[in-house]
């Protein structure tokens, strides 16, 4: 299968710094891969492809899973769309952190899912659109009247420059994170901003939980720490101007269910009634939210390139 050939080729170098010295730190424990393995609400924590660590920048990557796009294209995840109210709160909290630009600025959400961030952005006055590889999620967005294109970025229907590009929990899913960040820098206005959220593999929670950390899952094929995340942004021509530990918003029953998966079966209980319908913030301080501007020299290079 072409996937495996691509995987072998992907062994040879780090997706961030290009170093060739990668060490196997966790063997694969995945069975048969299906689109379901890539669902956003997947709860098989600790189940991943073989993870290699770069000796140069410490980036962790699943080199053999470098061709995962087909799984996303066929992804159906109704549990994810059922969480729309809480995911919408989360999207709004993220957008509220972005320094105000001119009203009606153009916003692009990459990995838009069923469009909850696009929807919030429109409500906040942005001219917003998104891109999503899963045709089921893209259709769900479209049925809500949201402008979400099917595919990946860059996309032929997405042209011109943007004021804001959001990449929320996406960069850990791609095998060419640096190229993606570079393309984002190129698609921003000189005073535009990129908003990125990704898990932090060097966080306290990740270190305590080891390979059982909830972000170790099949769909995550790259794992950043602060050092290599900032290295990637710098190489892409993006300059961090605001760094936060974002909270997630979940239904209380969902949090109850997910934390119970760490307990032996005999200790698991049904959620108490008083939790029904409640939405709560969860902040394990194990993700980064970084807002970046385009570095001045990156923009000059781009201008020089397009003039040539
Ligand atoms: Zn590296």
228 CA to middle of ligand 1, Å?
7
Ligand 1 centre and the CA of 232: distance in Å? Answer: 9
User: Tens-of-pLDDT digits for all 308 residues of the chain?
Assistant: 333 333 444 457 999 999 999 999 999 998 877 777 777 666 778 889 999 999 999 999 999 987 778 888 888 877 777 788 888 999 999 999 998 766 679 999 999 999 999 999 999 999 999 999 999 999 999 999 999 999 999 999 999 999 999 999 999 999 999 999 999 999 999 999 999 999 999 999 999 999 999 899 988 999 999 999 999 999 999 999 999 999 888 777 777 777 777 777 777 777 777 767 778 888 889 999 999 999 987 767 666 655 54
Distance 233 CA to ligand 1 centre (A): 13
What pLDDT, on the 0 to 100 scale, is given for residue 308? Answer: 43
Strands 287-294 and 188-199: antiparallel
Compute how many other C-beta atoms are within 10 angstroms of the C-beta atom of residue 69. Answer: 15
Alpha-carbon dihedral of residues 168, 26, 203, 54, nearest 10 degrees? -80
Question: What's the pLDDT at 266?
Answer: 75
Q: What is the pLDDT of residues 158-213, one digit of tens each?
A: 999 999 999 999 999 999 999 999 999 999 999 999 999 999 999 999 999 999 99
CB 61 within 8 A of CB 55: no
pLDDT, residue 86, reads 87
123 Cα–ligand 1 center, Å? 40
> How far is ligand 1, taken at its centre, from the CA of residue 21, in Å?
8
**Ligand 1 center to 23 CA (angstroms):** 11
Residue 249 Cα, ligand 1 centroid: separation in angstroms? 32
Tokens of 6: 């691509």
Q: How much distance in Å is there from the Cα of 288 to the middle of ligand 1?
A: 19
Centre of ligand 1 to C-alpha 15, Å, is 7
Contacts (Cβ under 8 Å, ≥6 apart) of 161 = 106, 187, 188, 189, 192
Question: From CA 147, how far away is CA 186, in angstroms rounded?
Answer: 22
- Rounded CA-CA distance 202/249 in Å is 22
Which position has the token pair 């969860």? 282
- Residues 6 or more apart in contact with residue 308 via CB below 8 angstroms: none
CA of 13 to the centre of ligand 1 (A): 8
Secondary structure E strands in the chain: 22-26, 51-54, 60-61, 106-110, 127-132, 148-150, 162-168, 188-199, 222-223, 238-244, 248-251, 279-282, 287-294
pLDDT at res. 11: 56
Q: What is the dihedral of CA 53, 57, 61, 66, to 10 degrees?
A: -130
Cα–Cα distance, 148 to 181 (Å, whole number): 20
DSSP 43: -
Distance 16 CA to ligand 1 centre (A): 5
Residue 303 confidence (pLDDT): 66
pLDDT in the model for residue 286: 95
265 CA from centroid of ligand 1 (Å) = 39
How confident is the model over 268-279, as pLDDT tens digits?
Answer: 777 777 767 778
């Amino acid at each position: 299968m072409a996937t495996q050939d691509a995987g072998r080729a992907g062994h040879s170098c780090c997706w961030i710094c290009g170093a060739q010295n990668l060490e196997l730190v966790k063997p694969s424990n995945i069975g048969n891969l299906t689109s379901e393995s890539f669902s956003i609400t997947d709860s098989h924590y600790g189940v991943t492809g073989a993870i290699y660590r770069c000796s140069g920048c410490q980036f962790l990557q699943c080199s053999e899973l470098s061709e995962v796009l087909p799984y996303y294209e066929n992804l159906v995840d109704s549990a994810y769309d059922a969480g729309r109210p809480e995911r919408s709160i989360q999207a709004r909290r993220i957008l509220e952190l972005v320094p105000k630009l001119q009203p009606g600025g153009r916003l692009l959400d990459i990995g838009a899912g069923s469009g909850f961030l696009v929807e919030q952005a429109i409500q906040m006055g942005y001219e917003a659109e998104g891109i999503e590889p899963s045709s089921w999620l893209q259709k769900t967005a479209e049925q809500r009247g949201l402008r979400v294109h099917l595919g990946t970025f860059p996309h032929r229907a997405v042209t011109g420059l943007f004021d804001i590009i959001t990449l929320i929990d996406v960069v850990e899913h791609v095998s060419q994170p640096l190229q993606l960040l570079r393309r984002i820098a190129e698609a921003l206005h000189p005073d535009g901003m990129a908003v990125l959220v990704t898990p932090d593999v060097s966080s306290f929670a990740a270190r305590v939980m080891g390979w059982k950390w909830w972000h170790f899952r099949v769909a995550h094929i790259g794992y950043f720490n602060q050092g290599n995340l900032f290295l990637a942004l710098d190489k892409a021509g993006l300059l961090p101007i605001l760094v936060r530990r974002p909270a997630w918003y979940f239904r209380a029953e969902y949090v109850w269910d997910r934390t119970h998966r760490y307990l032996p079966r005999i200790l698991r209980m049904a959620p108490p009634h008083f939790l029904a319908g409640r939405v709560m913030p969860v902040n394990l301080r194990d993700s980064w939210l970084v807002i970046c501007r385009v570095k001045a020299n990156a923009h000059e290079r781009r201008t020089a390139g397009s003039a040539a």
